Structure 1
Amino acid sequence: MSLFKTTVVSDRLGACLPKRKFGRADEWVTQLGVGGFHVGKAESEQEAQAIVETALEEGIRFFDMAAEYQDGRAEHRYGEYLCPKYRDDVFLMTKTKARTGAEATAEIESSLRRMRTDRLDAILMHAIATVDEPGERIRDGVYEAFLKAKEQGKVRYLGFSGHLNTDANLRALELLGDQVDVSLMPVNVVDPSDSDSFVKNVLPVMNKMGVAPLSMKSAAFGHFFEKEVAVENIAATTIVPGRVSMEEAFQYVLSTPISVWVSGMHKAEFVKKNAEIARNFSKLDDQQMESIVARVEAYRDNVEVEGYRKWG
């Protein structure tokens, strides 16, 4: 299954960014999506609104979210600035850390209320952390709650996210089989050199299964480049100085067989920059990709660069 074939369409809002196939589903999604954490982290309501509206103006139609982001504030912001006007125009995904079926059902309902919509396009088990966790969540009814929500027309696609270790993601894929439609995981220029690479170990399995791959941590949560503000308690410093440009790093991500590059953009100006990269994207060849990876190989297994592998 090739995810590199794109289609360019327009809708009532204007020209969309190029779209890619959403795994095996009969669905096309813009190859750049908005990461929900940074919408919640935006310094003001005005900035959050600007991120959403700029994304739509730039042709982005994929919006990620999670119930836990800023204790629901991020979802509330979609409920204020996205769903009331634009729900029919976008692909809307959220995630839950629920550990039981009852918790999952309650959290789906809470997410719908906060985002002021009656349906989701995708719901994911959020941040699976260990090899045992997928089985535990499935055993305790989380995926059963997902399937029930799907039967009720509240969600269309089901899946999981994970950024700690590949064994956990592979175990989830094994257990869920054809019941998993989509998964969100790290894809960046340092990952292929890591001894526990998502790009090398998990992405091919997802492609073979027809699971829609969504990329996150494309700049290792900002650790590759200078940042104007710190996120959480992470120092705003460059850890990979001068090895790759931001454009090269993001071109690399888009050159892997993913459906959507989900990017955290905490200001409208970053939305514009990333949309330009996605709009003008031309796939790197194998030699170009290998060259970029080689330049940052020295940072493999670096816990500062890949700090997201430590978060629970």
Structure 2
Amino acid sequence: MLYRTLGNTQETVSAIGLGGFHIGQQKDEQESIQIIRSAIDRGITFMDNCWDYNKGTSEIRMGKALQDGYRNQVFLMTKIDGRTKALASQQIDESLKRLQTDQVDLLQFHEVIRLEDPDRIFAEDGAAAAFLDAKQAGKIRYIGFTGHKDPLVHLRMLDIAKEHDFHFDAVQMPLNVMDAHFRSFQHSVLPTLIEHGMGVLGMKSMGDGHILKSNVVKPIECLHYALNLPTSVVITGIDSMEILDQAIAAADTFKPMSAEEVTALLSRTAAVAANGRYEPFKTDNQFDATALNPEWLGVPAA
């Protein structure tokens, strides 16, 4: 397994992260637990999760998997949706209870996908206040945010945070072979994160399988491309032992790509990536869980 440093935190994390959504979809809970523990046994230390994944099932199963000495082997991250201080505080405590831990290593504002999300989060009684209280209480160590819609929203979140003298330790966003051509987080957001020493968490390297439907790239190529970027972690969905093997193989076989190799790969994806067809999380609301469930935000629907 490759290991990298998470931004300026000096924390060492596995370059491949175990995605939390897919780990809650197995019919048998024991299969989920086996996948999580096998991933840890094989060197994956970064655990991704979220308060809303599979109605809490993902956190519950991960909490069970991290018993028997596994918790102290991982860097545990989860996310919450609440935009108000009260709701965010409630969701933080629920996540900790499900994960069976007193502290998560990284807590993130989830689905920052609307231009007004930063304003809500940093309002006087917004979720940022709950995060700071939780950090002071020792419930969380580091703070970040995620989003998948548009790099402009990420940049606005960073600007509003700066106005409030608030520093993010990590930021999660889509980084893949097609993002480079359409509403590109790689081109617009990544340089700012590197400049300010924030950990870069890449996600949707295969776009939940949509990118593979283009038939121009293979899974290993997708993972290698994301690993080749200055990412701290590439979070990937792992829903079976076979897919775990694939993720491990990607780390084992990764070598820094030459400029020519990158150019060739991006040339292959340019035409099919141009209109975002294979990145529907940017252009459609089917991936916007908080848009479909506005009550998770605790504010009126946008």
TM-score (ref. length: structure 2)? 0.90
Instruction: Confirm or deny: 8 A CA contact 1:84 1:116 kept in the other structure.
Output: no
Instruction: Confirm or deny: 8 A CA contact 1:188 1:217 kept in the other structure.
Output: yes
2:133 aligned to which of 144, 148, 153 = 148
1:205 aligned to which of 168, 192, 200 = 192
Tell me which amino acid in the other structure corresponds to 1:32: I
> Residue 173 in 1 paired to residue 146 in 2?
no
In structure 2, how many angstroms separate the alpha carbons of the residues matched to 1:284 and 1:73?
38
- Count of residues in Structure 1 that have an aligned counterpart in Structure 2: 281
1:82 aligned to which of 66, 71, 83 = 66
In structure 2, how many angstroms separate the alpha carbons of the residues matched to 1:77 and 1:102?
26
Tell me which amino acid in the other structure corresponds to 2:153: A
Identity percentage over the alignment? 35
Instruction: Confirm or deny: 8 A CA contact 2:220 2:246 kept in the other structure.
Output: no
In structure 1, how many angstroms separate the alpha carbons of the residues matched to 2:198 and 2:85?
23
Gaps of 5+ in 2: 289-302
> Residue 95 in 1 paired to residue 79 in 2?
yes
CA-CA distance at 1:141 after TM superposition: 2.0
Instruction: Confirm or deny: 8 A CA contact 2:40 2:73 kept in the other structure.
Output: no
Instruction: Confirm or deny: 8 A CA contact 2:59 2:99 kept in the other structure.
Output: yes
CA-CA distance at 1:268 after TM superposition: 1.5
In structure 2, how many angstroms separate the alpha carbons of the residues matched to 1:26 and 1:244?
34
Give 2:263's aligned residue.
Answer: 290
Give 2:219's aligned residue.
Answer: 246
1:84 and 1:104, CA in 2 relative to 1: closer, same or farther beyond 3 A? farther
* 2:59 alignment partner, SS class: helix
Instruction: Confirm or deny: 8 A CA contact 1:55 1:272 kept in the other structure.
Output: no
* 1:192 alignment partner, SS class: helix
CA-CA distance at 1:245 after TM superposition: 2.1
Give 2:95's aligned residue.
Answer: 111
CA-CA distance at 1:180 after TM superposition: 0.7
In structure 1, how many angstroms separate the alpha carbons of the residues matched to 2:74 and 2:33?
16
Give 1:185's aligned residue.
Answer: 173
Give 1:219's aligned residue.
Answer: 206
In structure 1, how many angstroms separate the alpha carbons of the residues matched to 2:110 and 2:219?
27
Residues 153-168 of structure 1 mapped to structure 2, 5 A cutoff: 153-168=138-153
Instruction: Confirm or deny: 8 A CA contact 2:211 2:279 kept in the other structure.
Output: no
CA-CA distance at 1:84 after TM superposition: 4.8
1:91 and 1:83, CA in 2 relative to 1: closer, same or farther beyond 3 A? farther
Residues 250-269 of structure 1 mapped to structure 2, 5 A cutoff: 250-269=223-242
In structure 1, how many angstroms separate the alpha carbons of the residues matched to 2:241 and 2:147?
27
Gaps of 5+ in 1: 1-16, 226-237
In structure 1, how many angstroms separate the alpha carbons of the residues matched to 2:4 and 2:101?
25
In structure 2, how many angstroms separate the alpha carbons of the residues matched to 1:157 and 1:164?
23
In structure 2, how many angstroms separate the alpha carbons of the residues matched to 1:147 and 1:137?
12
RMSD: 1.3
* 2:8 alignment partner, SS class: coil
Q: Which runs of 4+ in 1 moved over 6 A?
A: none
Give 2:295's aligned residue.
Answer: none
